[in-house]
Structure 1
C-alpha cells in the first residue's frame, strides 16, 4: 500500500531524479514534473527500472498556474527545481526571479490543494553563509545562520556567484515568509552535491555542474595539475535525496531547516581517494589528474550538521564511497553515451 502521493518538481534533474527514486523505493507513489515529454522519454531510457513507476506531468515552473493540475491529490511536495549555474547574463530574469517565483508558485498551488500536508524545499548552504565573508575561519555555520544578501544588492551585482547565493536565500525566505499556509515546511540546505548521476544527459558536457567538476579530475592525464578547490564542503546526492523522504516521515523535521554537510574536502584529497580506489587499474589511473601546484588547503569555516545526520538516521556516505562510485558511474556513462545515436 502506498504511503501517499508525492509531487517531485524538477524530477529529471540530477537531484530531482534521485529524490523521485528515493520516494519510490520508500513506498510512495511519485508524480514527477518535467518540462517536456522528450525529457520524460530520455529519463526512462536512462532509468528503465523505474519506467512506469513514476507518474509524469509536463509543467512550466514559471507559469503562475503551472502546477495547479499536477498538485491534485498530492500529500507531499518535494520542490527540487531551481537553477544552479553561474553562467547567466541577466541577474533578475535568469536567476533571481525564476528561483523566487518558482517557490512562490509551488506555495500558492499547495495552498489551493487541501490534500497537501508537507512541502519539502531544496534550499542550499548558499542560503546560510555570507559569501563576502568566506572563507571565514573560526566561524561555525549551523542551520540558524542566514545569508544576509538582499534582492536589491543581487540585482545590481557583477558577481554571478553572489547572485546565485542570493537567489537561494531569497527563494527559501519566500517560503518561510508565507504566513497563510496550513501545511508543514522543511527546507534542506546541502552544499556541493556529488554522487553517481542517474539523470539523462546527451553528452558528458551536459553533466550537472558539480559532477562536471569531478569528471574534470578523472578525464585528463596523471601529470595534469589538480585544479584549485572552490567549495571545500560536499554531500552525496543519495543522502540528500533520503533526507527529503525522512523530512515527511519524522515529526522533528516539521517547520525546520536542515543543514546537510557530510564532509570537508579539497580536490587534492579527492584525487588521493581516487588513486587509491583505482590503484589496480592503470588505464583509469592514467586519466586521474595528480600534478601538484594549483590546489592547496586553506583555513575555512567549520560546520555543524548534526541535525541533518540525526534526521538521516545513519552515518553520512563517506567521501571514499561517494567519489569512487561517482567516478565509476561517470566512466560508465561515457561508454553508455557512445551507444546512443
Structure 2
C-alpha cells in the first residue's frame, strides 16, 4: 500500500497532533535527545550494523551526486540537474533499502502483524524518498527533515533499528547512533545538495525562522551541550567556536553552516537564534526548542500537509491523555533525566538593517 496524504486542510492538523504517527515522531526525537545529552560526537562511538548500513546508504547517495553535474542555466537558484539525481534516487530507493539496509541486517520477512515485507519496504522507501527535497520546486525544508525522522521511526518498527535492551549497557545504542552518527551523515548529504544544486529553502520565514533548512539538529545539539563547562547559549553566535567544534556538536555544525551560506551580522540574518543567547542554560534551550518544533513545524499546516501516512505511521488516534516517552519501545531504559528549566532574563538586542532595534519573540516561540 503506497503512502497517502491525510492532512488536507488546517482542520486536520488537530487530528494529526493526537495521532500515533505524531506520537512516534515526538517520542523518537525526545529519546535521541535524552540518550545523547552531554555527549559530544567522537570517532570511536560504538555503532550497530544497522547504523553503519544507514550511513553507507547516505554516503552512496552523496557519491551519486557526481553523476549528475550541474547544467549551465540563467536562473540563480534551483539547478535542474537536481531533478535527475532525484529521479535516480526515487527510482532506486526501494531496492537500495532492501539490499543496503534490510538484507545486510538479516531481515527478509515482516515483523509487523498484518503488514507484508514488501509493504514495509515500500513505506520505508517512500519516507526515504521524501527526505531530500522536492524535485518540482527544487527546495528543501523542515518537512523533508521530518520525512527522514519518519524513515528512522519506520526502521525501528520494522526491526532494522533496535531500542537498547536491559543489561546491554556495553552494546551499541541505536538512539545514540541516530544522533551522533547518522545525523552528521544526513546533514553532510543534504547540505551538499543544497549548495551544489542551489536549492531554495522550503517555507522559510527568512530572518525570523530558526534556520532556513533544519530544526531537529538544533534540538539534539542543545541536548549535547547540557552541562558543558565551557560553552553556554551565549556561545551560539561565536564563529570561531562553531569552526572549532562543528565536528563534535550538532548545534555548532549548524551555526558553522549558517556562516558559510549567509553574510552580514548574525543578529540580523539569524535573529531567532540570536535570541536564544538570552537563555542561561541549555536545559531551557532544549525544552523550549521542543515546544517550538511542535508549534512551528509539527503544528503548521503548510509544513505537515505534505506528510504521508501508511501502515507503520498512521493517522489513528493515540489512546491515553498524553504522549509519554514510555510508550516508545525501549524508552524506559534509554532516557536519562533532564535537568529542570530555569528563568530567562530580559535583554536588549542591537539595531537591525533598518536602524530599528531587532526584536525577538524567542521567549514566546519557545513557550518560555
The TM-score, its normalising length taken from structure 2, stands at 0.21
| Structure having the larger proportion of residues in helix | 2
Q: Report 1 or 2 for greater relative contact order, CA contacts < 8 Å, sequence distance ≥ 6.
A: 2
The TM-score, its normalising length taken from structure 1, stands at 0.22
